Amino acid sequence: MTPEQLIALAKEAMTHAYVPYSGYKVGAALLCADGSVYQGCNIENASYTPTVCAERTAIFKAVYDGHRDFVAIAVCGGKDGVITGSFPPCGVCRQVMREFCNDDFTVYLVGAGESYETLTLSQLLPHSFSAKEHMN
């Protein structure tokens, strides 16, 4: 699975977004260690706070299916699904990644056209709290 293939799946996932309130469509594609991929989109709610991000949709789908070993995620988003720049994971999604992923978990931030940036979870969430490290 190349970054480009994962990004293409994130772009496809973005088309599933349910965004009647913000209009910002977000898509994610999560690569598991066994090569399987889980796609997610954001799903909004009239009460706002129940809204779930694309990244968490993908991660929770994968965990439900028994996966806990993740390699990378591609994330893209934009108003009405038009990608004009990167759409970085929110803090809550970074913390959910931290629960299951190592420091070197790769996050592809999709930009306009064919562009993308490659970051690690430790770059996105330095000095983070995780049960594995802090509750022994």
Catalytically active residues are: 55
Is 26 or 110 the residue whose CB approaches ligand THU more closely?
A: 26
* Residue 80: partners with Cβ closer than 8 Å, 6 or more residues away: 23, 25
Q: Residue 99 Cβ, how far from ligand THU at the closest point, in Å?
A: 15
Give the shortest CB-29-to-ligand THU separation in angstroms.
13
Site string for ligand THU, 95-124 (x = CB under 6 A): ------------------------------
Contact between 7 and ligand THU by CB under 6 A: the answer reads: no
Using CB under 6 A, pick the residue from 7, 26, 71, 110 that binds ligand THU: 26
The CB density around residue 106, as the number of other CB atoms within 10 Å, is 17
Residues near ligand THU, by CB under 6 A: 19, 22, 24, 26, 42, 44, 51, 53-55, 89-90, 93
